[in-house]
Amino acid sequence: MPASNQTNGTSKNDELQQYDVIVVGAGFSGISTLHRLRKEGLKAHIFESASGFGGVWHWNRYPGARVDSETPFYQLNIPEVYKTWSFSRRFPDHIELRDYFTHIDRTLNLRKDVSFNSKVNNCTWDKEASQWTVTTENGAKAKAQFLIMATGLLHKPHLPSWEAQQTFKGPIYHSCDWPRNSNLTGKKVAVIGAGATAVQIVQELGKQASQLVNFVRRPSYCLPMGQRTWTEEEQRAWKAFYPSLFKTGRESFAGFPIERPYGKTRVQDVSPDEREKHYETIWASGAFHFTMLNYSNVAFDKGANRIVYEFWKKKVRERLTDPKKQALMCPEEPPYFFGTKRTPLEHDYYDVLNQSNVEVVDLNTHPIAAFTERGLRLEGEEGEREFDAVVCATGFDSFTGSLCNMGLTNKDGVDIRDVWKEGVRTYMGIVMNGFPNAFMVYSPQAPTAFSNGPTIIECQSDLIVETIASLRREGKASIEATKEAEDEWKKNMNTMVEHTLFPYTNSWWNTSNIPGKKAENQSYILGIHMYEKECRERLGRWQGFEVAAA
């Protein structure tokens, strides 16, 4: 094929390309979707802004970057890939995950259908042709009947603006834009933030920096990771169980093949001794087992939730023994209800916090007043604190950040940022009114934040690709969610959390971490198994859709 007609990561193409489906994003979501589209015989193509596969794992290169969903479940259920690949550890780091994506590419020959370094900046719907036109910053242009946004849950960084920030002479790093040649060994480092990313960064940089100051507004309730290395014998033995494990995970609440033994038992239904024994067992097992295998009313009952917090506090204070640091990182009174904000996994985070070279500063008492040439000035303190580098683990514009920054407009030419200015509107977390033949993967208003990533991604990918295949078999030109269907879905989403403790806590889970962004529930909390069942029932009879013939 002539080079001018190739559309991949290495060639340049000024010609208008025609596809059946265009996918935006080449992380887990884009790869999963592309693989399924190929199996249906559809001509599909991915546009990816990065220079390689991986999505968030292409960008996450900060010290300590590691997944907190355990293997072997944190991978795609593609036999030809997993039969020839084994993860070396229970929780792989960013380097091994990029190697995994390289293996997927080699096994499936993906890159022939991908354009890298191609950031999408415009997506418009042609009413007459019933097609999407997509353009990129580097000048590529393509058309397709269907558009799938696989742009990620946590991709667009949030970097607050502080007074005189530009005067600081040292580097300011955001976790998702970490320089590959950085070396902070022996340096004075400020880390702003206390979420999952900050936990991983502090855990590593605290061992390297001469001085590390962690600026914390609200601590995370970290759980023990339980990291370990898999032996070759274990890796081989696991594979015989993969089909059953993946199937059971898909039919579960959160994507892990775990049965909840206390799914109908309240915290108060068992004796303190029995409860303590159970808590010690699930705490020691690592991963998210302490939350997934807990009692049934932890997310609903304030008294039950406090009992869980007291156990967590006891376990953390056994390791974090400095009284001042205890008061900030595991206080007597819980700053928010347990489990209503992400619970990061840690390996030796609290041990690092105990070190004499690590200080924790309460931003509620001493907010950052301004940057200076040599560091930071805090309110309530005289002078300045000097640093060689400032690390911003300040999070992301979650759920919608990527979708609202790709020039995506509805059929009437209105940008999705304006469509969603009063709040997110979707149907099943997959489609939107006003956006015919457009789909989302790893999206808002789905079980996304409460799920193992690959599991919910494969669930949504199946639903979308099966829908596209059905439409083409039936000779349909377009499908679009109705406004009434969106209204019902959002109402049901809000009803789910109405009697839980989730509405009491603000975090990226409800998009309140971004100034000016509406705080609202973004998660379907009944689990992947219930979500897929409900979606299939609705899609099976085109409930909530307007379907147009060709």
Question: Domain locations in the chain?
Answer: 3-53+110-156+398-474, 165-240+247-392
pLDDT for position 14: 65
Look up the pTM and report it: 0.96
Checking if the pLDDT of 463 tops 50, the result is yes
Read off the pLDDT band of 2 (50, 70, 90).
very low
Three-state SS letters, 46-58:
EECCCCCCCCHHH
**CA atoms in the 13 A half-sphere facing the CB of 198:** 29
Fold for 3-53+110-156+398-474, please state it: FAD/NAD(P)-binding domain (3.50.50)
- Residue 13 has a pLDDT of 55
| Chain centroid to CA 28 | 11
Say what the pLDDT of residue 180 is.
Answer: 87
Residue 33, SS3 per DSSP: helix
Q: What is the arithmetic mean of pLDDT over 274-286?
A: 97
Please write the tens of the pLDDT for every residue from 316-347: 999 999 999 999 999 999 999 999 999 999 99
The H or E element spanning position 211 is strand 211-216
User: How large is the average pLDDT for residues 81-101?
Assistant: 97
What DSSP assignment string belongs to 87-148?
-SBSS-BHHHHHHHHHHHHHHHT-GGGEE-S--EEEEEEETTTTEEEEEETTS-EEEEEEEE
Q: What is the average pLDDT across 432-451?
A: 97
Residues in the chain: 550
- pLDDT 10s digits, 95-141: 999 999 999 999 999 999 999 999 999 999 999 999 999 999 999 99
> In sequence order, what are the residues at sequence separation of 6 or more whose Cβ sits closer than 8 angstroms to the Cβ of residue 469?
40, 42
Query: Which residues neighbour 272 within 8 Å (Cβ) at sequence distance 6 or greater?
Result: none
Which residue shows structure tokens 């019902």?
Answer: 488
Tokens 């960008």 sit on residue: 59
Taking only the tens place, the pLDDT of each residue in 43-55 is 999 999 999 999 9
pLDDT at residue 15 greater than cutoff 90: no
Q: How far apart are CA 324 and CA 361, in angstroms?
A: 10
Q: Kindly state the average pLDDT of the residues 76-102.
A: 97
Q: How far apart are CA 497 and CA 503, in angstroms?
A: 7
Mean pLDDT along residues 268-281? 97
Confidence label for 5 from pLDDT (cuts 50, 70 and 90): very low
Measured at the CA of 529, the angle between CA 221 and CA 284, to 5 degrees, comes to 35
Looking only at the bridges linking them, the beta strands covering 545-549 and 172-174 are unpaired
On the question of pLDDT at 7 being above 90, the answer is no
Exposed/middle/buried for residue 424 (C-beta within 10 Å: 0-12, 13-18, 19+): buried
Does residue 451 surpass a pLDDT of 60? yes
Query: Among residues of the chain, what percentage have pLDDT more than 90?
Result: 94
Q: For residue 392, give both structure tokens.
A: 């911003």
Average pLDDT over residues 350-377: 98
CA-to-CA dists, residue 430 to 293, 436, 439, 468, angstroms: 29, 12, 5, 13
Average pLDDT over residues 405-422: 97
Q: Which of 294, 13, 19 is nearest to 148 (CA)?
A: 19
* 206 residue type, one letter: G
% of the chain exceeding 70 in pLDDT: 97
pLDDT confidence band for 542 (50 / 70 / 90): very high
Closest CA to 172 of 353, 394, 1, 332: 394
What are the backbone dihedrals phi and psi of residue 386, each rounded to the nearest 5 degrees, phi first?
Answer: -90, 135
> For residue 371, what pLDDT is reported?
98
* pLDDT score recorded for residue 155: 85
DSSP 410-474: -TTS-BHHHHTTT----BTTTB-TT-TTEEESS-TTBSGGGS-HHHHHHHHHHHHHHHHHHHHHT
Decide: 26 and 44 in contact? Cβ < 8 Å.
no
**pLDDT at position 262, please?**
80
Band of pLDDT at residue 82, cut at 50, 70 and 90 = very high
Residue 10 has pLDDT above 50, yes or no: no
- pLDDT, greater one: 464 or 262: 464
Say if residue 4's pLDDT is above 90: no
Tokens, residue 59 = 């960008």
Q: Does residue 260 sit in helix, strand or coil?
A: coil
The count of C-alpha atoms lying within 13 angstroms of the C-alpha of 101, restricted to the half-sphere facing its C-beta, is 24
What is the residue-averaged pLDDT of the chain? Answer: 95
